Every structure is written in C-alpha cells, then in structure tokens.
Structure 1
Amino acid sequence: MLKDHAKLMSAFAASGEIIGRKKLQKMIFISKKLAFPFQEKFQFHFYGPYSEELTLRIEELCNMGFINEVKEKKGGYYQYRYSMTEAGEDFLKHYTHEMPQLDECLTFMNDQSSRFLELVSTVLYFDNLPKEEVKEKVFTLKEKQRYTEEEIEEAYQYIENLNKMAKPLQ
C-alpha cells in the first residue's frame, strides 16, 4: 500500500516544490505516460487528465505529515504549494526506487506552466489518435484556453524531448 505513496514522495523529492494542484496532476499523468510506474487511474476532466486517486493519496500524505500543503490566495482564487517535510524525507529513506530518470523529467516539467502541461497531458491522453484528430480535440475540448497550432507543435516537441529523457525505461 505505502509503495504507491513512496513513488509519489519520490516525485516530490525530485521536484522540490510544486506550485498548483493542476500542475501536480499533469506532472504525474505525464510521468505515467512516459512509463514511470505510477498506479493512479486518470480520466479526462475540465483541465485535462485528472485522477481522484492521486488527489486522495496527496491528502493522505499531507495528513501523515509527509507533504506540506500551503494554501495561498491569488487574486480571485486559491493556489496550493506542495513540498516534502522532514518526516517525508525520513519515510522515503525506507524505500528503494527504480526510477533514475524521474528526477530529470520532473524537473523539466516543473519548469513549465500548468497551462502548457495541461496541453501536453491532453495531447498524451489522446496519443492513440492521429495528430490531426488530436489537434481537433484540443481545439474543441480546450477552446477556452485558445491554444495555437504553434503551441500544439511545441507540445509534440516537448513530448519527444521527455521521451528521450525517459528512454531507458521504455
């Protein structure tokens, strides 16, 4: 049971601080699509792939004192900041992880905006479809985000770069 928690903790260890619940969801989904062994199930939601399991696991980690969640008021909405606590670091020492490329991939993702990661995760969610159909889905399902053709091309290039980083896994 706690092995899945430890996998998430390793994501926090690699990322340092993650700002935003949406960003956290996208980073784990993208990692899973890159063949990292995250077990959470995702379905398509308002902001792209979303996992209720992940939300519950993060809540459990916060309740156990392994993850620190800080709620900040940002204009008209709240933003959450996540970081690992000392207790979380101690907990993680009891588990071995077979995910050497995870650190590099998560750091690369954490440098991106949640808006861009939403696009990348949406493209990956529909990766079984031809590129033109994926674009159509993005323009339809993400109409309010107003993604451009150029941004979609950037997302595909970004995915290609992530795949190179995670290559030994695949």
Structure 2
Amino acid sequence: MFQSKYKVKESSTKKAYNYLINLIAKRDYSEYKLREKLRLKGYESSHIDESIQKLIDDGYLREDFYTDARIRGLMSKNYSPSHIKRSLEQEKIYVDESYILSIFGDNYTSVDDQVDYLVSKKIGSKPIPEGREEFYKFKNKIITFIVSKGHSFSAASDAFNRYLDKTD
C-alpha cells in the first residue's frame, strides 16, 4: 500500500478529527474519500478509524445524505443512471440503479428528458447541415456528446431523430 511522504509530526485521533472537521466544513465527502485524505496525510490507521467513527457518532458524516446529494448533482449535469452508479462505486458507495431512478422520479426527471435536453442544448441555434456528409458528421458529433454522458447510442440516436421530427 502507498505510504505518504508527508508524515504527520504527531498522529493523533484529535488532530485527525480536527482535520476532518475542516474538510467537511468546506464541502461534503464520502467516508472513503475522507479515509484516503487522512491516509495520504500520514495518519495511523487506528487514528483514522477512531476519527471517522467520532465524525459519524457526532452526526457530521451522513453517507446517505452525501449519496443523495451526489446523485442529484450528477443528475443535474445530465449523466445517465449507469454513469452515476459507476461514479459512486469509485467512491466505494454501492447503490442499485433502481434507487438512482427513484431519485430521478423524485425530481420529476427521466432519462428521456435528459437526452432530449442534451440534443437541443448541443444543437442550439445551429442550422442543420444540408449535405449528406456534413449532416452525418453533425449527427455523429451530437450523439458522441450524449454517449459521453453515459447514455446509450440508441437513446441518443432516437432523441436526435425526435428533434428532427419536431423541427420539420
């Protein structure tokens, strides 16, 4: 395992706890990220465990609130549920895609709404190219953008075609 070159002069639970309080005062973190930050700072594992547990006991670290907020944040950036799930798994947070979809429903958003919005956003006020080659290049650029947000190729292509049907 990687050892930090920045060894804390004196590792203690109190110092680790105070460092965590300073971090979460600025923004929310998952438990995994907080553990990594302490580890990289050179704190001993026993002090990391104790300070994280104290943070949980004091009610400052609520993984469920963090998870919901993280899902909503990624959803507002129009990422797909599968992309959101993968992002959470990188932080060692495991949720079912059905849970993510329930938060979509709570926010009156659907995957189709997201994809339709992304198509209209990317096209904007640009004219649809007339030539066949230019049109396919234009279409490919938009679909690639939507797929980069984690949506399926077929959903992106269908949304593009719906947009064209509306403008005709």
Shorter-chain TM-score bucket reads under 0.3
* Greater relative contact order (Cα < 8 A, sep 6+): 1
TM-score by length of 1: 0.27
Q: Which has the higher strand share?
A: 1
TM-score by length of 2: 0.27
